[in-house]
Amino acid sequence: MATRWMMIAPGAPLRPETFDASPPGANEVLVEIAGCGVCHTDLGYYYDGVRTNHPLPLALGHEISGRVTDAGSGAEAWRGRAVVVPAVIPCGQCDACARGRGTICSSQKMPGNDIQGGFASHIVVPAQGLCPVDEARLAQQGLSLADVSVVADAVTTPYQAVVQAEVRPGDLAVVIGAGGVGGYAVQIAAALGATVVAVDVSDEKLAAIARHGASLTLNARSFDARSLKKEIEGFARNQGLRTTEWKIFECSGTAAGQQTAFGLLNRGATLAVVGFTMDKVEVRLSNLMAFHARALGNWGCPPELYPAALELVLEGRVEVAPFIERRPLGSINEVFHAVHAGELKRRPVLVPGQ
């Protein structure tokens, strides 16, 4: 029998449930889970009352890696393969999917939201969009299959944001929120040739990301909006970079971070909203018009971009090991509490069977 940890109600202890991982249906696979990362979206469901599409009880978790142990008709070629499961799985059949717009597919499935999630020993998911993992190359980087579970969201979501913002060599990228998703946004933008400024309110996070792609780190508590922009402009001039057309990535998922990001708009800038908050902010949208700037949302990542994002990890250009720690799946309640309380400095990956 398989096991999964169920959310019964917001804030109530997650409890284990055994279930029959029945044979997958047509074009589905059964994945034995190697690891599932704990994302702040999970905490939003659990602590903040963000509603899941699937009614409770529900197993949360959408950052999943593992091995396909069974496959339904049409998906037999996946049997035995190591995979990363997309955090958002488009249907692959609708008009939006046919036009390469899978992130707005109205029939998309998100584990831990639309279907049972990855805080479990096994999961049944559509085979559509699975990303194969070369375990030999993983080993060369000193990584396990569990470690790359975070590719499913923490890496691929900012990867889509950076690609969508059209980051190129010579660009100045500014990342607001340097931990978690933002830390990977810094690494990815740098890997694609940008000079990156990281902004956060934590000196510890800024010190960590300074060793992984940030050319300048700034604590937002030390600046008001005007002086922060001037500080970055001065850095750009000293580096021979443009003081226009910045690529700004809001990854903090806070109202303050969103206001900071919007305040950095300049001529031709691109604002990518990557983090999520239920809070509202007040901004002057006419700045977009006056600066001929643009603002982009970033929901998940199309499965077709996963291999390129994973390749950055396999090449060692984006590092995940310094930013994760493995924990036993059975410690999920303690881990949720520790993450919510800010006690963990790395993203926990819950591993079944430990």
Separation CA 221–CA 212 (nearest Å): 22
Q: What tens digit of pLDDT does each residue of 296-314 get? A: 999 999 999 999 999 999 9
Structure tokens at 104: 């707005």
| Average of per-residue pLDDT values in the chain | 96
User: Average pLDDT in the 8-20 region?
Assistant: 96
Separation CA 141–CA 16 (nearest Å): 33
Residue/partner pairs of 334-340 with CB below 8 Å, 24 or more apart: 335/38, 336/14, 336/38, 336/42, 336/43, 336/46, 339/38, 339/40, 339/43, 340/43, 340/47
The percent of residues in the chain predicted with pLDDT above 90, rounded, is 96
Q: What is the pLDDT of residue 1?
A: 86
Instruction: Give the residues across from 30 on adjacent strands.
Output: 70, 124
User: Average pLDDT in the 271-290 region?
Assistant: 95
Q: What is the pLDDT of residue 116?
A: 97
The set of residues, in sequence order, having a beta carbon less than 8 Å from that of 166 and lying 6+ positions away, is 247, 270
Residue 70: which H helix or E strand, with range?
Answer: strand 63-71
CATH class label, 2-153+301-351: alpha beta
Separation CA 98–CA 52 (nearest Å): 27
Question: In the structure, what pLDDT confidence band is assigned to residue 135 with cuts at 50, 70 and 90?
Answer: very high
Residue 223 CA, distance from chain mean position: 28
Question: In the structure, what pLDDT confidence band is assigned to residue 353 with cuts at 50, 70 and 90?
Answer: confident
Q: What tens digit of pLDDT does each residue of 24-82 get? A: 999 999 999 999 999 999 999 999 989 999 999 999 999 999 999 999 999 999 999 99
- Report the DSSP pairing between strands 347-351 and 324-328: parallel
Separation CA 281–CA 207 (nearest Å): 29
Is the pLDDT reported for residue 108 higher than 90? yes
CATH of 156-297, one of 2.60.120.200, 3.40.50.300, 3.40.50.620, 3.40.50.720: 3.40.50.720
Q: What tens digit of pLDDT does each residue of 324-345 get? A: 999 999 999 999 999 999 999 8
Separation CA 49–CA 43 (nearest Å): 9
- For residue 133, the 8-state DSSP code is -
Question: Which residue shows structure tokens 């055994």?
Answer: 18
Q: What is the pLDDT of residue 22?
A: 79
Is the pLDDT reported for residue 169 higher than 80? yes
Annotated domain spans of the chain = 2-153+301-351, 156-297
Structure tokens at 33: 């889970």
User: Average pLDDT in the 236-244 region?
Assistant: 97
Q: What is the pLDDT of residue 216?
A: 98
For 26, phi then psi, to 5°, come to -60, 135
Separation CA 289–CA 294 (nearest Å): 8
User: Does residue 262 contact residue 237 with C-beta atoms inside 8 Å?
Assistant: no
